[in-house]
């Protein structure tokens, strides 16, 4: 009897989680797009970052693929993420804007207020990392700020 009750309550919670995760955050983003990619359906997100992502979407008028966003602790370990990653706090996103060069996305992201901007264009990777850390940090393919400004003008 108790086991049936627990099973029914778990099914209800799963249903509520699915309903909540399908909720629209902005014109173009749902909560489900911000879930951890391991399948655990957990999500933490910072509203300022979501609003800035929407600005990128509006500027380029192209779909954004969110390659990495919030990560639960287990998933972050499994993919070799930094133990202090902003992804763990729901404050970072790795994105691809369809048909737009990652460097162009990075420049715009910096201009609208993302303080962490990394542009990845090597070894088959073509994406832009954006985050809302406090102190500005910019990089290109893992190389720091001075080289990025000199090479790209970011």
3-state secondary structure at position 105: helix
Q: Residue 141's pLDDT is what?
A: 82
Q: Residue 100's pLDDT is what?
A: 97
CA distance 43 to 21: 9
Q: Residue 23's pLDDT is what?
A: 84
One DSSP character per residue, 44-55 reads ---HHHHHHHHH
Q: Residue 133's pLDDT is what?
A: 96
Q: Residue 36's pLDDT is what?
A: 95
Q: Residue 2's pLDDT is what?
A: 45
CA distance 120 to 71: 19
CA distance 139 to 148: 6
CA distance 85 to 53: 19
Q: What is the mean pLDDT of each run of 10 residues along the chain (154 residues)?
A: 48 51 87 92 92 98 95 96 95 97 96 96 89 93 59 53
Note the CATH number of domain 44-152: 3.30.1380.10
DSSP strand E in 31-149: where? 64-68, 92-97, 116-120, 127-131, 137-140
């Amino acid at each position: 009897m108790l086991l049936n009750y627990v099973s029914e309550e778990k099914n209800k919670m799963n249903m509520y989680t699915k309903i909540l995760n399908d909720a629209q955050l902005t014109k173009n983003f749902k909560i489900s797009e911000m879930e951890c990619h391991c399948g655990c359906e957990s999500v933490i997100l910072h509203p300022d970052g979501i609003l800035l992502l929407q600005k990128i979407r509006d500027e380029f008028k192209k779909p954004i693929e969110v390659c990495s966003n919030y990560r639960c602790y287990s998933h972050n370990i499994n993919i070799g993420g930094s133990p202090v990653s902003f992804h763990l706090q729901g404050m970072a996103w790795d994105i691809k804007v369809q048909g737009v060069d990652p460097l162009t996305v990075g420049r715009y992201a910096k201009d609208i207020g993302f303080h962490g901007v990394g542009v990845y264009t090597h070894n088959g990777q073509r994406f832009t990392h954006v985050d809302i850390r406090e102190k500005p940090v910019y990089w290109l393919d893992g190389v720091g700020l001075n080289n990025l400004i000199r090479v790209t003008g970011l």
